[in-house]
Homo-oligomer: A and B are copies of this chain.
Amino acid sequence: MPMEEMELKPGRHMLYMEWYSRDPGGLFMKVNRWLYSAQSPYQRIDIFESPFYGRVFALDGITMTTEIDEFMYHEMLVHVPMFMHPNPKKVLVIGGGDGGSVREVLKHPSVEKVVMCEIDEMVVRAAMEYLPYTASKLNDPRVELVFEDGAKFVRQFKNEFDVIIIDSTDPTAGQGGHLFTLEFYKACNEALKEDGILCAQTEGMTYDWEWGSTAYKRIKANFPLVKMYLGFMPTYPGGIWSYTYASKAGLDPIKDYNPEKVRNFKEPLRYYNEEIHKAAFALPNFVKKYIGEE
C-alpha cells in the first residue's frame, strides 16, 4: 500500500506522494510549513504549504488539491456538465469536501441550490479554515452541506436534481470505493430529472487506469449516452485526468453543445473554454483501448 512505504512525515523538508499502487513512484515536493494534520473517522487529513504548489491538501497521503492546479480539475469536472444542461437549477455534489466543485457550480447564474454531500465533516471544516479560496463558496446561502455517505444519501431522491457531480477520492483511498459501484451510478440516474446530467471524476489514464475504465463502463451501463473526456492535472498521478459525462436524455456533449452560453458567461475561467469543451472528448488511441472504445 502507498502509505506504508511513503508515509507523510510532517516537518520533513521533502514530502513524497505515491502515484501508483504497485510500485513506488510519484511526486515529491518541498514543504515550507505544516498547517494541519488529523485523523478523521474516515481518513488521514493533511494540509501544508509548499513554495511552488501553494497550499496542498492530502487525504491518506494522496494529493487532493494544490493551489496551483485545483482550478484545472474543478473547472473540467464542473463546467462540462453545467454548460451542457439547458438550465441547471438544483445540483448535487457528492464528495468534493474541499469546496472547489461548489465554487465552480455557483458561477452559473441559473443555480438556485447546491447540495454537497461529503462523508467527512472534518475535511470540510479543515478546508474552510486552511483553503479559503477553494472553500470560498461553502457559506453561500444557496449551499446545503450534508455530512453523510453519498452512496446512501442519493438513494432517497427520485427525479430531483438537474446535475450530479461526483467528486470522489480514489477508489482505494479513504471512502471513495463505494462511489464507484454499479448500484451507486444507478441511484444517481434515478435521482436525476429526465434531462439530468451526471459527471464523475474517473481517475487517471497513466497509472492504475483500470479504475477509470471500470467506472466508465459502469456509468455506461446506467445511462443512454456516456462519454469520457480528459484534462491536464499536473499534481494528480500521471497528469492525464479522466472525467465521465452521462446524459439521461441522450444529450451529446459535442452535437448538442451550445457555445453561446459560454460566450455570454460572465465569470472568469482559467482552463475551460469553448474549444477545450469539444477537444477534451478527443481520446488518444491508448485511452480508447483502455475503455474498450477502439
Contacts of A53 in B (CB 8 A): 25
- Is A145 part of the contact surface with B, judged by Cβ < 8 Å? no
- Is A234 part of the contact surface with B, judged by Cβ < 8 Å? yes
Contact count band on A: 35 or more
Contacts of A30 in B (CB 8 A): 23-25
User: Which of A83-91, A121-129, A270-278 has 4 or more CB atoms under 8 Å from chain B?
Assistant: A270-278
A27 to B72, CA, bound (A): 20
Would A273 and B284 count as touching, CB distance under 8 A? yes
Contacts of A20 in B (CB 8 A): 52
Nearest-neighbour CB distance to chain B for A51, whole angstroms, equals 4
CB under 8 Å from chain B, chain A span 11-34: 14, 16, 20, 22-30
- Is A230 part of the contact surface with B, judged by Cβ < 8 Å? yes
Q: A279-B280, A284-B272 are in contact. Are A207 and B25 (CB under 8 A)?
A: no
Contacts of A207 in B (CB 8 A): 52
Would A275 and B269 count as touching, CB distance under 8 A? no
- Is A232 part of the contact surface with B, judged by Cβ < 8 Å? yes
A53, A68, A279: which has the most chain B beta carbons within 10 Å? A279
Partner of A238, one of B239, B284, B286: B239
Nearest-neighbour CB distance to chain B for A74, whole angstroms, equals 13
Partner of A50, one of B25, B51, B72: B25
A4 to B69, CA, bound (A): 27
Mask of A237-279 contacts with B, CB within 8 angstroms, 1/0: 0111000000000000000000000000000011111011011
Sample of 11 A–B contacts (CB below 8 Å): A16-B28, A20-B52, A25-B30, A71-B286, A232-B284, A234-B238, A239-B239, A271-B285, A272-B285, A275-B281, A279-B282
Q: Which residues of A contact B (CB under 8 A)?
A: 14, 16, 20, 22-30, 50-53, 68-69, 71-72, 206-207, 230, 232-234, 238-240, 269-273, 275-276, 278-286
